[in-house]
Structure 1
Amino acid sequence: MPQPTIGSLFAGIGGFDAGFENAGYRTAWQVELNPTNRAVLADRFPHATQHEDVRHCGAHNLQTVDVITAGFPCQDISIAGSRPGNQTTRGLRGERSGLFWQVIRILQETQPRWVVLENVVNLLAINDSQDFETVIRALADSGYVGFWRVLNAQYFGVPQQRRRIFLVAGHQRMPPIELLADAAPVDAIPPASQSQQWPRPADTWAANTLLANKAGSQIAMGCTTFVAHPNGWHQMAERQRTSENDGLCLGLDASNLAEAFAAGNAVVPQIAQWVAEKLIKAN
């Protein structure tokens, strides 16, 4: 059988694409507005066609694919943008998150077999949950039905707490029921009184990642990203000495910040692969 294909809307740096290719798909095209991200995509996926603006894409310039993925913008949906006094948070009525309707238009024009959407968990609650109802209704009106789940990256081998909603729908067919099965064992959180093994490896701490908090440039004041090692005070001095002798950056310069934002917006490839492995069996 021919290799199944995906097209990626709001591709970012290719988290969806990497996961799906690890499961056996081939990326046919990607749509990404940010030029730095497009350069990353061109380097990592030279076989895929890159497009710039989702508003200029459709059946006239997008190859027919088996799956369309879309982590559409969350700026008008996320909790970070919904603080009191912030007038930019409008959900699907916002300028950025409203690009969801471009996804619906492209689905109607190209009719892929499957669609996979990703966004922040606040999509379930914003505007009294009316926006999420709108997403479900828009997909159904376009002929797509399916399931949704909130998946956390820490249960897919990624040392980070990152909960995102994933919605998988098929064109006039339901996705595999396995998508509603447990994604991985969920470990119980040990009580504070329970003894801990020391020292703990750095990669076992969910906070010890580039994007542990809301932004890679955020300085945590609550010790959320400190890794405790008994008698490890000297390591702070060694880190400073490494910076001075080897030129390693301790803070964030322009390239670090671009990397941080790109990583923060990316879909976790391990989760994308888990979804793709279920869909590829149903092709």
Structure 2
Amino acid sequence: MQQLKVCELFAGVGGFRLGLENTHHYKVVWSNQWEPSTKMQHASLVYEARFGPENHSNFNIETVKTSEIPDHDILVGGFPCQDYSVATSLKNSKGLIGKKGVLWWSIYRILSEKKNKPKYLFFENVDRLLKSPSNQRGRDFAVMLRSLSDLGYAVEWRVINAAEYGMPQRRRRIFFLAYLKGAEIYQKLKKNNPVDWMLKEGAFCDAFPVSVSAQKPVSFDLDKDLVTLSENFNKEKGLSSFLNTGICVDGKVTTLKTAPSFDGKRTLLSDILEKDSIPSEYYIDESDLPKWEYLKGSKKEIRKTKAGFEYNYSEGSMVFPDALDQPSRTIITGEGGKSPSRFKHVVQTSKGLRRLLPVELERLNMFPDNHTQLNGISDAKRAFFMGNALVVGIVEKVGASLFRKITEFEKQVQN
């Protein structure tokens, strides 16, 4: 089987591309990266520097015509987590639009307008997606599953924490794969028992094995009308109906709570640290230490709003400095810069306490060393990229597993 052609949306600095191309089974034929609120398109510059400018688009995806996007086998991307509610619109003959500026609807538009739809989809998001918005938990994910069902896709999803499978960072994200009607893997999923698929047969459990919790699987149908679904899903404001593992075929959801099953080698924070030539500005100044300790420590205090309203504020303490004999905490976008912060990583070394270098943050996401190093790109910006990025090792393993499944099921059909 030849390489699958990939279209990469919301490409960032190329985490999806790295993971998929590491398997040698995928080739990116078109990519798009656009940062709306900034003049300098830093992530796009890094992407072009690493992969070349050919077939790379640095325009707002909402303005890119579907006809400009070449046909592809698999559409991938880590799209922003927003509010996905839908509204009716008389002006729109289809009667349906998502909120303007919500990038999920750009994916929906491309898929609905493509004559040759991609057979496979592979997306990533924060796991909060399963329980947002807070006043209608799970509605956003329900809207996405229903809209993919309407376009002819069956979906399987899994929440994966990279550290639970031996990777160097505790980063929990939802990944989902979708298969178009007519693809062999779609037929296979449709015929299979949903629980068997989630635990034994599917692409996720092949890449990241799981054991099942005692809880029974939950099944329910999604309302066929997107607007009704958007307005009424989980109006009771209970817990989300979506668990960390699940599938959706023809609008019927089966979901299950699973636990990771892994006993391989584990990478710790200490394994990725640079030993020598650390620039002096990364060491924490003695005079700043009390501020770091205060921010990292537990607090119970009375604070005031700008309007003068007083309220009780409390938070627990963080491990300070970070534990070296564990995988690291999640990198967030505010990781860069010298100023003391509750969330930045700080490690104890023989020469004192210091922050993490950009190359160390890249290693925590399993990027190649200095992938984001480029003239004009500050260390703080490189840290920001890693706060936004995904763990390349997860994409690589899921990509390899997906390719194996596709090949295996196609062979079965041919025989």
Which interval holds the TM-score relative to the shorter structure? Answer: 0.7 to 0.9
Which of these residues, 216, 219, 229, is aligned with residue 335 of structure 2? 216
- 8 A contact 1:19–1:273 mirrored in 2: yes
Which of these residues, 255, 261, 270, is aligned with residue 201 of structure 1? 270
Moved more, 151-160 or 270-279: 151-160
Q: 1:158: how far off? A: 3.1
**Relative to 1, partners in 2 of residues 1:254 and 1:76: Cα closer, same or farther, differing over 3 Å?**
farther
Which of these residues, 53, 71, 78, is aligned with residue 71 of structure 1? 78
Which of these residues, 402, 406, 409, is aligned with residue 279 of structure 1? 402
Corresponding residue of 2:196: none
- 8 A contact 2:203–2:402 mirrored in 1: no
> Separation in 1 of the partners of 2:271 and 2:3?
39
SS of equivalent residue, structure 2 residue 129: helix
AA at the equivalent of 1:201:
S
Matched, 1:146 2:155: yes
Q: 1:201: how far off? A: 3.1
Q: 1:53: how far off? A: 1.8
> Separation in 2 of the partners of 1:219 and 1:138?
44
Q: Deviations over 1:189-220 (max 9, x none)?
A: xxxxxxxxxxx835453237xx6356314844
- 8 A contact 1:117–1:166 mirrored in 2: yes
Structure with greater Cα Rg: 2
Matched, 1:36 2:155: no
- 8 A contact 1:207–1:213 mirrored in 2: no
Moved more, 56-65 or 167-176: 167-176
> Separation in 2 of the partners of 1:75 and 1:134?
12
AA at the equivalent of 2:378:
S
Count of aligned positions: 237
Corresponding residue of 2:257: none
Corresponding residue of 1:130: 139
Percentage of identical aligned residues: 30
Instruction: Please report the TM-score for the alignment, with normalisation by the length of structure 2.
Output: 0.51
Q: 1:179: how far off? A: 1.7
1:228-243 maps to which residues of 2 (within 5 A)?
232=350, 235-236=351-352
Q: Deviations over 1:229-280 (max 9, x none)?
A: 7xx4xx118x79xxxxxxxxxxxx9712211221111122111111111222
> Separation in 2 of the partners of 1:103 and 1:59?
10
Instruction: Please report the TM-score for the alignment, with normalisation by the length of structure 1.
Output: 0.72
Q: 1:124: how far off? A: 0.5
SS of equivalent residue, structure 1 residue 11: coil
> Separation in 2 of the partners of 1:257 and 1:162?
20
Q: 1:57: how far off? A: 2.6
> Separation in 2 of the partners of 1:66 and 1:131?
26
- The higher relative CO (CA closer than 8 Å, separation ≥ 6) is in 1
**Cα root mean square deviation, aligned:** 3.2
Corresponding residue of 1:119: 125
Consecutive unaligned residues in structure 2, runs of 5 or more: 36-40, 85-96, 190-200, 210-260, 264-268, 273-324, 356-375, 408-415
**Relative to 1, partners in 2 of residues 1:93 and 1:57: Cα closer, same or farther, differing over 3 Å?**
closer
1:55-66 maps to which residues of 2 (within 5 A)?
55-66=62-73
**Relative to 1, partners in 2 of residues 1:122 and 1:130: Cα closer, same or farther, differing over 3 Å?**
same
Corresponding residue of 1:258: 381
Q: 1:47: how far off? A: 7.1
- 8 A contact 1:70–1:103 mirrored in 2: no
**Relative to 1, partners in 2 of residues 1:48 and 1:15: Cα closer, same or farther, differing over 3 Å?**
farther
> Separation in 2 of the partners of 1:73 and 1:167?
14
Corresponding residue of 2:203: 178
User: In proportion to residue count, which structure has more strand?
Assistant: 2
AA at the equivalent of 1:109:
E
Consecutive unaligned residues in structure 1, runs of 5 or more: 78-91, 188-199, 241-252
> Separation in 1 of the partners of 2:17 and 2:385?
14
Corresponding residue of 1:169: 178
Corresponding residue of 1:89: none
SS of equivalent residue, structure 1 residue 215: helix
Corresponding residue of 1:9: 9
Corresponding residue of 2:19: 19
